[in-house]
Amino acid sequence: MPVGAYAASKAIMEHVAPVGPVYQAGTLSANPVAMAAGYAALTELLRPGFYESLEEKTNWLVNTLQEHADRKGYALSIPHIGSIFWLAFSRERITRSEQIDPSSMDRFKKMHMACLERGVYFGPSGYEVGFVSSAHTKEDLAFAADVICQAMDVSF
């Protein structure tokens, strides 16, 4: 559900109605369904161990994929932080998008298609990151790891 918020110092916010003369409105401002969804999401995000669990799942997935790539000698590294990961078709540490070799996108396309054919969906560009969510089970991640390893094998 779409939701947003803004804030500023008291001096600035006192210019916004109903206190001040500046009127602010939006299509979904104070929409009760959006607010309930936002509250439910925040409640889950604030659960003790939520982010640690995401990171643990992501580390397991990344380590499984990296071990396969290393065992096979594939030029692949998987930078990651928290629940975010990215497949880099290089052993070099890439910190900016302009460091990505455009020719590596050919390999990404092959791997992307091989994953799609087997039921694992990545973003359509090798410049995008992937995310592990709280909804992913260990079984989901094991399935994804198996498929991604198979896709590596047909792409390298």
pLDDT band at 151 (very low <50, low <70, confident <90, very high): very high
> What is the distance between the alpha carbons of residues 48 and 120, in angstroms, rounded to a whole number?
30
pLDDT band at 140 (very low <50, low <70, confident <90, very high): very high
- In this predicted structure, the answer to whether residue 3 has a pLDDT above a threshold of 90 is no
| Residue pair 132/54 in contact by the 8 Å Cβ criterion | yes
Nearest to 148 by CA among 28, 68, 31: 68
The pLDDT, as a whole number, for residue 41 is: 92
User: Rounded to the nearest 5 degrees, what angle is found at the Cα of 148, between the Cα atoms of 143 and 153?
Assistant: 130
pLDDT digits (tens, 9 = 90+) for 18-74: 999 999 888 777 788 988 998 999 999 999 999 999 999 999 999 999 999 999 999
Average predicted confidence (pLDDT) for the chain:
93
Go through the domains of the chain in sequence order and give each one's CATH number: 10-45 (no CATH), 50-155 (3.90.1150.10)
pLDDT digits (tens, 9 = 90+) for 69-92: 999 999 999 999 999 999 999 998
The pLDDT, as a whole number, for residue 29 is: 79
- How large a percentage of the chain has pLDDT more than 90? 79
Instruction: Locate 102 and state its tokens.
Output: 């455009």
The pLDDT, as a whole number, for residue 52 is: 97
pLDDT band at 112 (very low <50, low <70, confident <90, very high): very high
